[in-house]
Amino acid sequence: MQVSTHAVKGNLCLGLQNCRLLPSSRELRENNLGFPVSELRMTKRSSCFGIGLDSNAMGARGNWPRSVYGSSAKARSVRAQAYEGDVEDVAPAKIQVKSSGTVLPYVGVACLGAILFGYHLGVVNGALEYLAKDLGIAENAVLQGWVVSTLLAGATVGSFTGGFLADKFGRTKTFLLDAIPLAVGAFLCATAQNIETMIIGRLLAGIGIGISSAIVPLYISEISPTEIRGTLGSVNQLFICIGILAALVAGLPLAGNPLWWRTMFGVAIIPSILLAFGMAFSPESPRWLYQQGKISEAEVSIRKLNGKERVAEIMSDLDAAAQGSSEPEAGWFDLFSSRYRKVVSVGAALFLFQQLAGINAVVYYSTSVFRSAGITSDVAASALVGAANVFGTTVASSLMDKQGRKSLLLTSFAGMAVSMLLLSLTFTWKTLAPYAGTLAVLGTVLYVLSFSLGAGPVPALLLPEIFASRIRAKAVALSLGMHWISNFVIGLYFLSVVTKFGISTVYLGFASVCLLAVMYIAGNVVETKGRSLEEIERALTAAP
């Protein structure tokens, strides 16, 4: 772990005892938020926060979205001047105390929700054909589409519900409640004797994974130490990928046992029960406890998660974030206020781009695409896609706290655009027809690898980081609502659109979305690596 590096480099809480009137050139270079000098004012306090990112930090009203989300020309000019010939003034750094806490087991428990997220998304891929025959809907493409998409409709409801429950009852109790629809939904799907029961089961499972999609990244971001928050946050996406891969591998026995699809749905009950059991013994988010005024309980939670050595440090961050603020918990309409509108729109846009770039079309229908391209073992080819997803996400986890979130997003969407263009040409150029099968698998695997490097793990990690604590749960839920709505539409209409326009045109459309995403991210997304949630919040919501 790069604990010392990320604790020092780019840390906005420099712990200065005597603040200077102007920041040094080193601070300008390491200030990735891109504030111009005129927008930085030093505060004189006995225990000041170096570069003042509190309520007095910003220069003029309305400047923070521009300077935070995309450095202005003025900011770039100032930084360029700072690079040339200035003497570096190295301030004493805030020393990170080695943690003796045990955060990893609780991240692992939370990730059971991520496994179920991926498993329920992927399980229908191989099972759909067999359950359709068993339930008498083999000739009804509309009902088959509803089996796929009902899960997504339920997930849309669950993602909004998850934000409310997490704010009302806390993160761990919401996990306990979430286990109910996850387990019941899996049971109904496994035992369904008609299409109505199957759809109800998929709806309940969808509500469960929708809640999970909101609270898993939220809980992990709030309990993780700053220096490894990126790595641990990306583990959420890694376990989603493992869940998808497990679902694809679980479909391999279907060829020899057509009723195996029931077992595929039924095994999801086990991690649902384990999730409830594990969360019964997991500590609550100290940030949620602090917001509820349960200070002593927050300290106990920090001690359990991060060790007693970090209690004073983390409580100091929480105090600083809350200093001078007596604001009540945010309502849904607060998300659209001028104060939060920009940052919330970025969160929603990231998930919109993620889905409209075509990832779930690939996950849901890769088997059908491979079959049309002449791949003999279509299930095995889909399992290869799942393996590529897991591999790429593992690589992303190791890079998240080194390369940063924004650079991984840009690289990821650019790679996805190239891969989708390759797939489009594969199904268009007649000269490539003899190699269509090989190129279809190659292009799909490259696409999934590119996705898993950034577009997959970063949005769920970045959102809890950039949203202020008073809006965090609701804003994450709103952004994930955008995720599930677009996911639902793609799952329901993808095959119909392919039938009307052709797979090549659809893939070309996905490539165009990826290029738009690159341009949007370059101008609007903030880098958050190496900063505590409280530091990021003070930067993004500083008032004039």
Identify whether the C-beta of residue 444 lies closer than 8 Å to the C-beta of residue 369. Answer: yes
Q: Given this model, what pLDDT does residue 373 score?
A: 61
CA–CA dist 163, 117 (Å, integer):
17
Q: Given this model, what pLDDT does residue 86 score?
A: 35
Instruction: Report pLDDT digits (tens) over 310-366.
Output: 888 888 877 876 664 556 666 777 777 777 777 888 888 888 898 888 887 776 666
Mean pLDDT of 374-395: 72
Instruction: Report pLDDT digits (tens) over 399-431.
Output: 777 777 888 899 999 999 998 888 888 777 777
Q: Assess whether pLDDT exceeds 70 at residue 376.
A: no
Report for 265-269, 330-334, 391-395, 527-531: range of highest mean pLDDT:
265-269
Per the model's pLDDT, the better-predicted residue between 246 and 486 turns out to be: 246
Per the model's pLDDT, the better-predicted residue between 103 and 473 turns out to be: 103
- Which phi and psi angles does 31 have, rounded to 5°? -85, 85
Q: Given this model, what pLDDT does residue 84 score?
A: 34
CA–CA dist 497, 492 (Å, integer):
10
Report for 237-241, 297-301, 520-524: range of highest mean pLDDT:
297-301
Per the model's pLDDT, the better-predicted residue between 480 and 212 turns out to be: 212
**Residue 311, number of CB atoms within 10 A of its CB:** 19
- Report the chain's terminal Cα–Cα distance, integer Å: 37
Instruction: Report pLDDT digits (tens) over 233-242.
Output: 778 878 888 8
Measured torsion, CA atoms of residues 288, 291, 295, 299, in degrees rounded to the nearest 10: 30
Q: Given this model, what pLDDT does residue 358 score?
A: 83
- Weakest mean pLDDT among 183-197, 213-227, 277-291: 213-227
CA–CA dist 232, 108 (Å, integer):
10
Q: Given this model, what pLDDT does residue 280 score?
A: 94
**Residue 140, number of CB atoms within 10 A of its CB:** 13
pLDDT band at residue 369 using 50, 70 and 90 as cut-offs: low
Burial of 193 from C-beta contacts in 10 A (0-12 / 13-18 / 19+): exposed
Q: Say what percent of the chain tops pLDDT 90.
A: 22
Q: Is 544 helix (H, G, I), strand (E, B) or coil?
A: coil
**Residue 475, number of CB atoms within 10 A of its CB:** 25
Region of 99 (left: φ > 0; alpha: ψ -120 to 50; beta: rest) is beta
Q: Assess whether pLDDT exceeds 60 at residue 544.
A: no
Q: Across all residues in the chain, what is the average pLDDT? A: 74
Q: Given this model, what pLDDT does residue 264 score?
A: 94
Q: Assess whether pLDDT exceeds 50 at residue 26.
A: no
Closest of 211, 207, 224, 223 to residue 167, by C-alpha: 211
pLDDT band at residue 23 using 50, 70 and 90 as cut-offs: very low
The secondary structure of residue 37, as a DSSP letter, is: G
Q: Say what percent of the chain tops pLDDT 70.
A: 72
Per the model's pLDDT, the better-predicted residue between 304 and 434 turns out to be: 304
What angle separates helix 195-223 from helix 472-501, to the nearest 10 degrees?
130
pLDDT band at residue 271 using 50, 70 and 90 as cut-offs: very high
Mean pLDDT of 278-307: 90
Q: Given this model, what pLDDT does residue 178 score?
A: 95
Identify whether the C-beta of residue 335 lies closer than 8 Å to the C-beta of residue 96. Answer: no
Report for 58-62, 121-125, 215-219: range of highest mean pLDDT:
215-219
Token pair, residue 238, equals 């890694």
- Weakest mean pLDDT among 159-173, 318-332, 387-401: 318-332
CA atoms within 13 A on the CB side of 252: 9
Per the model's pLDDT, the better-predicted residue between 207 and 476 turns out to be: 207
pTM of the model: 0.65
- Weakest mean pLDDT among 19-28, 137-146, 294-303, 340-349: 19-28
Identify whether the C-beta of residue 180 lies closer than 8 Å to the C-beta of residue 427. Answer: no
Closest of 426, 431, 460 to residue 446, by C-alpha: 426
Mean pLDDT of 496-521: 88
pLDDT band at residue 93 using 50, 70 and 90 as cut-offs: very low
Mean pLDDT of 428-441: 74
Q: Given this model, what pLDDT does residue 538 score?
A: 63
- Which phi and psi angles does 277 have, rounded to 5°? -65, -45
Burial of 430 from C-beta contacts in 10 A (0-12 / 13-18 / 19+): exposed
- Residue that the structure tokens 């659809």 belong to: 506
CA atoms within 13 A on the CB side of 221: 31
Q: Assess whether pLDDT exceeds 90 at residue 438.
A: no
Closest of 525, 528, 536, 539 to residue 40, by C-alpha: 539
